[in-house]
Amino acid sequence: MNIPDNLYYSKDHEWLLIEADNGTVGITAHAAEQLGDITFVELPEIGAKIGQGDELAVVESIKAASDIFAPAGGTVKEINTELDNAPEKINSDPYGEGWICKISAVDEAELNELMTAEQYAAFLEEKD
């Protein structure tokens, strides 16, 4: 399973890339595989203020619709509108072109709630 080392992970299978105090959010390869072919993504609104664990987006596949929760709080400053026409990018490149949104002013303390790649790999194994 593809779990890049440079990201933080939540128990709800979101990933977070931190650059200074800005974060990029997506869902993990494991989550994308579980959901199956993704058909629709409901993106958050730019400027929305969200707290850690709040509903951030909705991802629909042919199996189910799932809420995506914010792995960390902040303000939504950019959304991946490419997903409107090509939601399958989440399946083909979950950590790259399949990113969902970028949030600013992430509180460093909240990162303690998240897992490292190693911890997330162990979490997945335990779940199985």
CB nearer to another protein: pick between 75 and 91: 91
In the list 18, 22, 34, 121, the residue contacting another protein (rule: CB under 8 A) is 34
- Of the pair 37, 113, the CB lying nearest another protein is at 37
User: Rule CB under 8 A: is residue 1 a binding residue for another protein?
Assistant: no
* CB-based contacts of 41, cutoff 8 Å, min separation 6: 57, 58, 59, 60, 83, 84, 87, 90, 100
- What is the C-alpha separation between 31 and 34, in angstroms, rounded? 5
Per-position DSSP letters for 69-95, written without gaps between them: E-SS-EEEEEE-THHHH-TTHHHH-TT
Quick one: which of 45, 47, 62, 108 contacts another protein (CB under 8 A)?
Answer: 62
Tell me the closest approach of the beta carbon of residue 50 to another protein, in angstroms.
Answer: 16
CB 42 within 8 A of CB 74: no
Q: Which stretch binds another protein (CB under 8 A): 10-18, 36-44, 99-107, 110-118?
A: 36-44
Footprint of another protein (CB under 8 A): 34, 37, 39-40, 62-64, 87-88
